[in-house]
Amino acid sequence: MTKTVGVVLAGGNSTRFGEDKAFFKLEGRPMYSHVAGVLEASGMVDEIIISTNQRLAGCFGGSTVIIDEAFQDDGPLGGLYEVASAFPEDRLLVVSCDTPHVSSEWLRILCRQAIGNPEALIITKAAERLHPLIGVYQGADLAQTIRQLLDARRLSMRALFEERTTIEVDAECYGIDDETLVNINRKMDIRLRGYESGEHNR
């Protein structure tokens, strides 16, 4: 039976942020913890795992899928490949660790779309912009498709969308505030949005 795995993507190097943003505290909690909490609150996932790199592997409290060294510099596709390989029969509800204010309501909407379209990728769209790291990744041979892209050095998420049936779900049509979908790339993004932040803490 297909289950839904909640995936927190936390394998990047946070170059623009200046430190490991997964552990940067917002409102008293690390960013990755916010995302894990929303995944749990959605009521749609059977388990939650963290996709991370070798350097950070021991820093999370929950289950982790570690990106192989060969793919750790290949962006989100490298992390997705490892997770899809580890859970080949399941749907993956993926949220990047730097999207701490995504709503559980929106994740439920995405999952319902995925259940009704089991071979399609279900991707968030808002204000004519795609948010590929808030979505559901599923379907037969997903890991094989991603591996082919990695081997061909086609590392963009759009390359994956060109190879798989992809449904873009417009958040505005559901009354979702697109501010909740914004990812935090720089500390300036925190200040601009008035988020309450704290110190780096593992």
For 156, other C-beta atoms within 10 Å of its C-beta total 13
Instruction: Tell me: is residue 9 an annotated ligand-binding position.
Output: yes
C-alpha span between 1 and 175 (Å, rounded): 32
Residue 12 assigned ligand-binding role: no
Q: Number of helices and strands (H, E) in the chain?
A: 6, 10
10 among annotated binding-site residues = yes
Question: Is the torsion defined by CA of 139, 144, 148, 150 positive or negative?
Answer: positive
Contact 11, 55 (CB under 8 A): no
Tell whether residue 68 is among the known ligand binding residues: yes
Q: Is 159 annotated as a binding residue?
A: no
Within 117-163, residue ranges assigned H as helices are: 142-151, 157-163
> Which residues are documented as binding site for Mg(2+)?
98
> Which residues are documented as binding site for GTP?
9-11, 21, 68, 98
> Which residues are documented as binding site?
9-11, 21, 68, 98
